[in-house]
Amino acid sequence: MAGVTPPQRERFGSKFGVIAAAAGSAVGLGNIWKFPYEVGNNGGGAFLVLYLGFVLLIGIPVMISELAIGRNGQKNAIGSFRAISPKRPWFLVGIIGVAAAFMIFAFYGSVAGWTLEYIFQSAKNGFEGKTPDQLGSMFDNFVENPMRPLMWQTIFIVLTASVVMAGVKKGIEKYTKILMPVLFLIILVLIVRSVTLPGAGAGLEFLFKPDFSKINASVILSALGQAFFSLSLGMGTIITYGSYIRKNDNLAVTAIQVSTADTVIAIMAGIAIFPAVFAFGINPSQGEGLVFVTIPNIFQQMPGGYVFSLLFFILLAVAALTSTISLLEVIVAYFSEEYKISRKKATIYSSIVILFIGTLCTLSKGGPLTDFTIFGKNIWGFLEFVSADILLPLGGLCIVIFVGFFMGRKRVREELTNAGSIKGRLIPVAMFLVRYIAPIGIALVFLNAIGLLKFG
């Protein structure tokens, strides 16, 4: 191909399309499945306060940095680093990202499969007349017999692969634009129902009243990991999407809008879930099953619950799908661009690897691999911890240091001001966060987590 102008890179077609795709990546199971159980396990309101601080002071600067790298580098997560800094090994950050994408997709795809089972159960009215206890054991039985979860997981991976094969504009952008707003509306309906249940107040108190005695080093690390996971940061997803953004879109504004949408939806999911958890006497720290047990409880007591439950799980699946699409896109963009194989081949090969690791994850949840542990965690727990709590913040740390000190002021300015056409009065603030606050913040959390530093 030497000497030939490469074909025009694919682009998102509209500003709303960009936000829908990036928010589609950010908003997913992390908001509706993981956020509520992390809050439940880690002391409610105090976790929330930490989380919000991390989104504002670390998440948004990392997101701006990733967008700038992608749009400036005009390549995948690894290639963009190489394009900007060909002589230094910064591309390794992209490699961490691609590795994290495989790991996250493995367990994420498993939960995404659960959403399909719950669509199926909603459709056949499988929750009707069940007590909260029965709904709890229904979930446990389903997860502990791995055949069905594996079947759904496979279907989900195939679905993701088919959208990614269709490409950026006709696949990713087209679907996310319609589905994200509908998801928002359904959560609103749920909130109204949940907060009007008798005893709902205790749930709101749990979510919003901070009890700082619950905070310790591992809770702080989880809050940071959750912020990265939920915003899809630290692993090149936003670099990859940034490379598809048109030159006249405002990167800082995009980052703020996407982060706000993501945070609002996570909190809304919390408001929909916790009042019902307390009203039905479900244990708020019961972990991964929280949403899958709480939501059927709400719906099966509600007029029109059949329709709403069906809609809810369809949308949860869609929210998961727009996120798995972005995970797969990181991998596919890398392999197809760097090794010059077709998008189709890259998609098929990577999906097979994901299915393999994903199967191990699923079998470690109640199946034959349950007792197999790595550093005291089962395969699933290990991959979740290493990716979300270690690799993403580590990737984020490298990303802000790269943009803050190594990418070159001129390039960064060019991206943040769209080559001078945006005034950018807030750029100094953004750069202060990128250069100092975010890296120091992440480093402190790490040092605290490994016990080298004690605070709080």
The residue (of 29 and 183) whose beta carbon lies closer to ligand PFF is 29
Q: What's the min distance (Å) between Cβ of 34 and ligand PFF?
A: 7
Stretch that binds ligand PFF, among 53-61, 182-190, 273-281, 319-327 (CB under 6 A): 319-327
Q: What's the min distance (Å) between Cβ of 237 and ligand PFF?
A: 3
CA distances from 264 to 148, 164, 181, 232, 298 (A): 33, 27, 13, 15, 21
Q: Out of 110, 121, 222, 230, which residue is the one contacting ligand PFF (CB under 6 A)?
A: 230
Applying CB under 6 A, does 261 fall inside the site for ligand PFF?
no
Applying CB under 6 A, does 350 fall inside the site for ligand PFF?
no
The residue (of 278 and 382) whose beta carbon lies closer to ligand PFF is 382
Applying CB under 6 A, does 110 fall inside the site for ligand PFF?
no
Stretch that binds ligand PFF, among 22-30, 213-221, 278-286, 411-419 (CB under 6 A): 22-30
The residue (of 29 and 369) whose beta carbon lies closer to ligand PFF is 29
Pairing of strands 377-378, 373-374: antiparallel
Q: What's the min distance (Å) between Cβ of 36 and ligand PFF?
A: 12
Residues within window 25-44 making contact with ligand PFF, judged by CB under 6 A: 25-26, 28-31
Q: What's the min distance (Å) between Cβ of 178 and ligand PFF?
A: 19
State both tokens at 82: 């190489």
b/e 331-349 (16+ beta carbons within 10 angstroms → b): bbbbbbbbeeeebeebbee
Applying CB under 6 A, does 394 fall inside the site for ligand PFF?
no
Applying CB under 6 A, does 64 fall inside the site for ligand PFF?
no
Q: What's the min distance (Å) between Cβ of 160 and ligand PFF?
A: 11
Applying CB under 6 A, does 76 fall inside the site for ligand PFF?
no
Stretch that binds ligand PFF, among 23-31, 37-45, 76-84, 142-150 (CB under 6 A): 23-31
Applying CB under 6 A, does 270 fall inside the site for ligand PFF?
no
Q: What's the min distance (Å) between Cβ of 240 and ligand PFF?
A: 9
Applying CB under 6 A, does 237 fall inside the site for ligand PFF?
yes
Q: Out of 72, 309, 326, 364, which residue is the one contacting ligand PFF (CB under 6 A)?
A: 326
Q: Out of 62, 235, 293, 434, which residue is the one contacting ligand PFF (CB under 6 A)?
A: 235
Stretch that binds ligand PFF, among 10-18, 20-28, 272-280, 404-412 (CB under 6 A): 20-28
Count of residues of this chain found to bind ligand PFF when the rule CB under 6 A is applied: 15
What residues line the site for ligand PFF (CB under 6 A)?
25-26, 28-31, 104, 229-230, 232, 235, 237, 323, 326-327
